Amino acid sequence: MTETNPQQISVKKILPLILATAIFMQMLDSTILNTSLPSIAKDLHESPLNMQNAIISYVLTLAVFMPASGFLADRFGTKKVFIFSLVLFSLGSLFCSLSQNLTHLVISRIIQGVGGSLMTPVGKLALIKTFDKNELLKAMNFAIIPALIGPVLGPLVGGYMVDYLSWHWIFLINIPIGVLGIILGLKYMPNYKSTEVDFDLKGFLIFAAASLLLSISLELFGDMQNISPVLFVFILGFLFLYYYYRHARRGGNPIFPLDLFQVRTFRVGIVGNLATRLGISSVPLLLPLMIQIAYKQSAVTSGWIIAPMALTAIFGKSSVIKILDRYGYRQTLMVNTFIIGTLICLLAIPNIHTSLYWFVPIIAILGFFNSIQFTSMNTISIADLRNFQTSSGNSLISVNQQLAIGFGIAFGLIVLKLFENSNLIEGEMHNAFRYTFLTIGILTIISGFVFRRLHISDGKNMKSKED
């Protein structure tokens, strides 16, 4: 990079904070609604079962519009698109709080989803283009912490707000955070553009259809009584992915060029993200469910039990750079995935008469290693991308991550339902949860072998500068 001036130094200090603000807002909003749905349903005179549309509409909008984030950033500039996304997300949050019926809420959630689909990918893209490879790990490490804290704090904050304020505040809380992000973005967000921009509309529509179908199938997979239509939608989603592959092979300027997958570290990062999140993503959902259903405790209690995961994630971020510098990405990711899988298996040990406090140290340690996992996977995925690949590569990583989290949650619930309907649990719902944790823990351990495809030297260009 060229010599740094005071303005560049300020940007480098503030930019990770701006991205962290965006990630926190999006991740908090993805989970805070879960504990609030019954209260919202009562106020809007709807069945709680129908309220799932408020969650599904947001997830589907993210999946559909994320692929366009790289093109829009290249065309209009990272600063303009990022500010626009924050304004849209904040307005969507305001409209959600003012909703008078379910239709209003769903439309408002779609507006939020469009903002959210651009906010995080464009913020990450600005970060990647601002920092040298040997500075990026430290910057990304700071920005990624809200992705760990948001899903843990979401149910806890949502529970308290519904109990002591009203459900409207779970949306209104986004507005001051959004305003802070807009102010910081106007002053410090760089406005990177690309001179050559050619939007692959056909490719976008094909990939958006694939993302939409796969997301719908994930949301419907919980209905195990009639699996045929769900499988049809799921298979159709993969057929659209294959159609996109055929489209991208013909050349031109596809929205996600196939040469991205010729970069081995990118390929391993994408597959590893998808595989390891099958187990990791379902824990923040399954453990509170078990505490509420099997142990008959409140939503606030279950929120407090998993809260230590957020605290230890912060400690994990201070260690990850030293660990990666010493052991490298290959060894760190393999061993770390094995540790996470083992910790998930340990959640299966306590029986129904065991104290709830037994889970606290396991969850606390899990938060520490999750922090290492997400930072390592995110940075190795972009380690060897060329400058002309960063926009499309970053967009694809964001889409993959969103789908991976969805797959993980759906997979955990499917395994739980299978055990619930089996003879193994002997009428004890708690045993269904125990077998589920054991299954997803073992699969997480196995997923660690994906990272064997990395070379010992991979990620050396990401090695941080000495302070």
Fold (topology level) of 259-467: Growth Hormone; Chain: A; (1.20.1250)
What six digits make up the tokens of 399? 């889409």
How do residues 200-221 score in pLDDT, each as one tens digit? 778 888 888 888 888 777 767 6
Instruction: Please state the pTM of the whole predicted model.
Output: 0.76
Comparing CA positions, the residue from 192, 201, 231, 198 lying closest to residue 214 is: 231
Comparing CA positions, the residue from 51, 118, 148 lying closest to residue 364 is 148
Contact 451, 272 (CB under 8 A): yes
Pick the CATH number of 1-197 from 3.40.1000.10, 3.10.150.10, 3.40.30.10, 1.20.1250.20: 1.20.1250.20
Over the range 114-150, which residues count as b (16 or more CB within 10 Å of their CB) and which as e? Answer: bbbbbbbbbbbbbbbebbebeebbbbbbbbbbbbbbb
Confidence of residue 30 (pLDDT cuts 50, 70, 90): low
Question: In sequence order, what are the residues at sequence separation of 6 or more whose Cβ sits closer than 8 angstroms to the Cβ of residue 24?
Answer: 146, 149, 150, 177
Q: What is the pLDDT of residue 426?
A: 67
Q: Are 360 and 308 in contact (CB under 8 A)?
A: yes
Q: What percent of the chain has pLDDT over 90?
A: 11
Spatial separation of the C-alpha atoms in residues 162 and 173, rounded to whole Å: 13
The model's pLDDT over 424-444, given as tens digits with 9 standing for 90+, comes to 666 677 788 888 999 999 999
Residue 48 has what pLDDT? 59
3-state secondary structure of 135: helix
Q: pLDDT tens digits, residue range 127-171?
A: 887 877 677 777 777 776 666 666 666 767 776 776 677 778 878
Domain locations along the chain: 1-197, 200-254, 259-467
225 vs 175, higher pLDDT: 175
pLDDT band, residue 299 (cuts 50/70/90): low
* Same CATH fold assignment for domains 1-197 and 259-467: yes
Of 91-95, 215-219, 405-409, highest mean pLDDT:
91-95
From the number of C-beta atoms within 10 Å of its C-beta (0-12, 13-18, 19+), residue 14 rates as: middle
Task: Kindly provide the residue ranges of all beta strands, DSSP E only, lying in 190-231, ordered along the sequence.
Answer: none
How confident is the model over 262-295, as pLDDT tens digits?
888 888 988 998 889 888 888 877 887 788 778 8
pLDDT per position as a tens digit, 99-137: 888 888 889 988 998 998 888 888 888 888 787 767 777
